[in-house]
Chain A
Amino acid sequence: MKLPPFDYACPATLAEAVALLASHGDAKPIAGGQSLMPMLAFRMASPTLLVDLRKLPDLNRISIADDGVQLGAMVRWRDIEDDVRLRAAHPPLAAAIAHVAHYQIRNRGTVGGSLAHADPAAEMPGVALTCDAEIAVTGAAGRRVIPARDFFLGPLTTALAPDEIIVEVRLPAWPARRRWGFQEFSRRRGDFALAGVALFYDEDADGKAVNAHAGAIGVADTPVRLTGVEQALNGCAVNEATIAAAARAASADVDPPDDIHANAAYRRALVGTLTERALIASAAI
């Protein structure tokens, strides 16, 4: 399982990196390599050039401001874990990332790599989609910002052009009193989830849920929004009946695949169960 042949470049600036990607037909960025290297080892990818992003300045910054949380593309899982501010600044981010992979992988795997890799069961894309994140990218044609809802197109497929590099992901500001839940289930700790659910809502003066957001991973070609759940929550007090209705809506919202780890019917039920549990957790916050 040795890697196929390729060239390697480690540019010092973003402009150089983009130029390298643009001038090679079949070049690929490499960030942490924790998804790309296994793909290469199985020869499921065979780029002619790898463009290492590790020397690019400023891509590993985490900034927390009034307008939200910004994570540079080269921020590692480990950095998110270590930054205690994030637990308040964006609780579901911290909660979701706690499920990603293992110690050694967390020392290298990055936010940008995960978004670009777009594994349908990965946590970061799920959080980005559920939280209406924006993904800032730079390419030969310049900078643009892609809303998460337009970013994930299929399994391992995104809206990125071949010469585009993710620079940062922006999560909108998180009000302190917002209610949220994140639940996932995997066969073993650190494995990709059989399914996962992230959700949050605010409460109006009457204690009814407003602005409900819910999303799921592991149940489709991309992370998905659970619009039925959002509808079931908006305008309702989050009580037992609402939770039950939302859980049913979650199962109805998804059409999951069969695979070697779980079948479709199980996954459909699982999304309902996880939604129920996430809502129970949200009410207890």
Chain B
Amino acid sequence: MKNTFIGSPVERREDLRFLRGRGTYVDDLAPENLLHAVILRSSVAHGRITSIDASAALQVPGVHSVITAKDMPGGPPIIPMRLQPLPEFKPFEQPVIAHTKLRYVGEPIAVVLASSIAIGEDALEKIAVEIEPIPAVANWEVAARNQSLLFEEPGTNRSLVFHARKGDADAVFRDAPYTRRERLRTGRHYGLTMEPRGVMAEWDAGSGKLIVSGAAKVPFFNRRILAKQIGLPEDAIEMVENDVGGGYGARGEFYSEDFLIPFAARQVNRPVKWIEDRRENLMAMNHARESEADIEIACARDGTILGLRGEVHTDMGAYMRTNGAVGARNVAQFLAGPYRVPHVSIDSSLWMTNKTPVGTYRGPGRFEANFFLERLLDIVADDLGVDRVDLRRRNLVSSSEMPYAIASVQPTDAKDEYDSGDYRAALERCLTEFRWDDKAKLQGALIDGRYHGLAVVCFIEGGAAGPKETARLAVNEDGTISLYMGTSSVGQGVETVFAQIAADALEIPMDRIRHVYHGSTTYVSDGYGAYHSRSTVMGGSAVLDAAANFQAAIRDAGAKRLGCDPSAIGIAEDKFTGPGGNSLPLAELAGLSAEGAFLNKRHTYSYGAHAAHVTVDAKLGQVQIVDYLVVQDVGRAVNPLMLRGQVIGSLVQGLGGAMLEHLQYDEQGQFLTGSLADYLLPTATDFPNVRCIVLEDHPSPINPLGAKGAGEGGIIAAGGAMANAVANALRSFGAQPRQLPLTPTYLWELVQAGQREAAE
């Protein structure tokens, strides 16, 4: 049997339970004797704790205990960096609970354990915390003054500067025929998941085992941290991944609660569950994206890019946490995007401020970089009188230049290269499918009170972060097969994708793969998780390896049973077959299993283009999308149906960041957007006219599937495309958006400024 599940729009297995309301998310777990944890969080941005008095809270009937830093012998443990664990970041890392200083609104101060959440919340109001306020550092510019310091010991609010370098930028700028410098800003927003986070911990004092439910993304890594912090061997801790209501980079990193809840469960020797509520989620889950670029481009008169230099300043929030440095690094390394830029010099500063710490959000640093560069390119095209599309055609890295080396970054010594592809072809396909030439005449046109604008921008998406991923196949008692994965699900549908790959590799029907287990530390010896668009590429390649080993194991075992040569053994549905029509049920081999792995140091780069046609009501500052197209070459789409879902889903997230979503603080660092009526997510009526085309023209040469990571392509270029389309629509006003999100107020102000200028 030769299968072709790979490449088919196979309907998802997960759907059967989700559609019936039978998913099991962490809040759906309710063991006997459960205590609920509720967390008291800082209501001030910056201050020193002088006292915490929980005695009144303890009087509330139903309250079991209140945990603070004082209960942790040796002080609260520190959350280490997962990615870029540089010594420079050490002084800026976060204790799991505040003990002396408070550095952001939302920082945990105390944990109340109670018989219900409601009672826990009643008690929160009764905990008296005395705080001596310290002047708040509300943005990177204030941070740069280094007057009020978040951390006294290092004596600066800047935790690091990444340097991205390629060639000799300063030399190029000295003689460049044309240069242009701009200041551009992206707004703070985040990977809000519809399911808030949650952790449930069960401690079995008898066996010394700790079970932690609610794991996601990187359970093996988090187990390592927790084991160390809590003083248990790793194998005494089991991390269980349940159904997960969205990840987007933000869920599953190690947060305070990932220590506090297991710690509490062990303290009180009862199961403890904490479910983040939405208000907490808005101030406790990693923020992202707030960045300002002061960058300069050098070009030849024909628009050929000669160099790029400047500074980027990222508002890191109050602590360096797990993967928080990734965005600031990426923005520097990928500022040049898919374009041939021979000379690059970008310094990217990481500033500590009194806000929620940042972490990655889908397309970390890439969304920002794309907005900065693509905005700059349209301004350059205007200046030089070069067609915007031609400018991009001229500068895209061509397929003959692959692999193409990009800027390397210090101090991490990150070197990288683009693996393969025909960037120009994707751009042309996008223009054709979008009917760019037909629409071009609409640029700037005022029709029925609305200005029309177009834009096309290009992007690359990095994926498939190594180093390794693992998979195991096993024969079940009933002769079906189970697949155990080291990667995680964050709701993308990995169960289906991996079953497709395994069924193809084993040449059996998909329903023979009865279960795909993932994300929990019990299933395989090691695993690396779901981030950097890596699950399908890394996990899928590991499945191929495991399948080969599994087939070999079945051949060996089968040969013994049927008394023949291993090479004569085959697998057919629920049997293994030998020569002469001999066969036995696979169930006879129950328990047989084989592991496989995929190791990889290189990254895949999928790529493509976004085209946008918008209209703007200049008086309202309101933008509507008439048509929006994403074309992305993903190398190989294991499941095209799901891939389209990834592209459109991430696109609408990107449009949210471009137009709506904005985490806001005042000058005192007070958090202003604590509800979903304040933090505006895209709804079904906001962006109806979006579409995508997925190409498979250039498989990746660096993995056996040929797949490239492809969960971020929709989001990365959304800010750049929307800002450029709006600028194009409002060109009669000379409007040049320099910040995101493109709010009605901001666009109206740009129009007003243009009108004032015209009047003068």
Contact = CB atoms under 8 A, between A and B. Distances in A.
A–B direct contact (CB < 8 Å) = yes
Nearest to B672: A260
A260 B664 contact: yes
A266 B621 contact: yes
Contact of B744 (A2, A38, A187, A190): A187
B277 interface: yes
B745 A262 contact: yes
B664 A188 contact: no
B660 interface: yes
B748 A269 contact: yes
Interface stretch (B305-313, B395-403, B487-495, B675-683): B675-683
Nearest to B675: A42
A217 to B, nearest CB: 16
A45 to B, nearest CB: 14
Contacts of B677: 191-192
Nearest to B116: A2
Nearest to A192: B677
Nearest to A262: B745
B279 interface: yes
A260 B673 contact: yes
Interface string A94-123: 000000000000000000000000000000
Contacts, number: 60
Interface string A253-282: 000000011110110011001000000000
A2 B121 contact: yes
Interface in A216-275: 260-263, 265-266, 269-270, 273
Contact of A2 (B117, B743, B745): B117
A176 B353 CA distance: 61
B683 A189 contact: yes
B118 interface: yes
B685 interface: yes
B620 interface: yes
Contacts of A1: 121, 277-279
Interface string B674-717: 01011010010110000000000000000000000000000000
B182 interface: no
- What range describes how many residues of B lie at the interface? 20 to 34
B620 A273 contact: yes
Interface string B731-753: 00000000000011100110010
B122 interface: yes
Contacts of B664: 260
Contacts of B620: 185, 270, 273
Given A187-B660, A187-B680, A189-B685, A266 B745 contact: yes
Interface in A187-203: 187-192, 194
A76 B740 CA distance: 38
Contacts of A3: 118
Interface in B653-681: 660, 662, 664, 672-673, 675, 677-678, 680
Interface residues of A, number: 25
Nearest to B121: A2
Interface in B91-123: 116-118, 121-122
A190 B683 CA distance: 10
Contacts of A4: 121-122
A189 B745 CA distance: 17
Interface in A161-219: 185, 187-192, 194
A263 B117 contact: no
B57 to A, nearest CB: 15
Contact of A188 (B621, B675, B683): B683
B283 to A, nearest CB: 13
Contact of B619 (A192, A194, A262, A273): A273
B622 interface: yes
A43 B125 contact: yes
A142 interface: no
Interface in A1-33: 1-5
A266 B660 contact: no
Contacts of B621: 266
Nearest to B449: A277
Interface in B637-663: 660, 662
A263 B662 CA distance: 15
Contact of B748 (A2, A42, A261, A266): A266
A159 B244 CA distance: 48
Contacts of A190: 683
Contacts of A262: 743-745
B118 A2 contact: yes
A260 B672 CA distance: 7
Contacts of A38: 675
A266 B683 contact: no
Given A266-B745, A266-B748, A269-B748, A43 B121 contact: yes
Interface string B254-297: 00000000000000000000000111000000000000000000
A156 to B, nearest CB: 15
Nearest to A277: B619
A133 B678 CA distance: 31
A194 B675 contact: no
Contacts of A266: 621, 744-745, 748-749
Which residue of B116, B621, B672 has the most chain A CB atoms within 10 A of its CB atom? B621
A55 to B, nearest CB: 26
A263 B685 CA distance: 24
A266 B746 CA distance: 9
B678 A260 contact: yes
B108 to A, nearest CB: 17
Contacts of B686: 188-189
Interface string B429-442: 00000000000000
Nearest to A259: B672
Contacts of A263: 745
A269 B619 contact: yes
Nearest to A273: B619
Contacts of A273: 619-620
B346 to A, nearest CB: 32
Contacts of A260: 662, 664, 672-673, 678
A269 B755 CA distance: 14
A185 B278 contact: no
Contacts of A261: 743
Interface string B120-139: 01100100000000000000
A188 B660 contact: yes
Contacts of B673: 260
B666 to A, nearest CB: 9
A257 B271 CA distance: 48
Contacts of B622: 185
B122 A42 contact: no
Interface of B: 116-118, 121-122, 125, 277-279, 619-622, 660, 662, 664, 672-673, 675, 677-678, 680, 683, 685-686, 743-745, 748-749, 752
A-B complex: 6 closest residue pairs judged by Cβ atoms: A2-B118, A266-B745, A189-B685, A1-B277, A273-B619, A262-B745
Given A43-B125, A269-B619, 8 more contacts: A2-B121, A43-B121, A185-B620, A185-B744, A188-B686, A262-B744, A266-B749, A273-B620
22 contacts: A1-B121, A2-B121, A4-B121, A5-B122, A42-B675, A43-B125, A187-B660, A187-B680, A187-B744, A188-B660, A189-B683, A189-B686, A190-B683, A194-B744, A262-B744, A262-B745, A263-B745, A266-B749, A269-B748, A269-B752, A273-B619, A273-B620
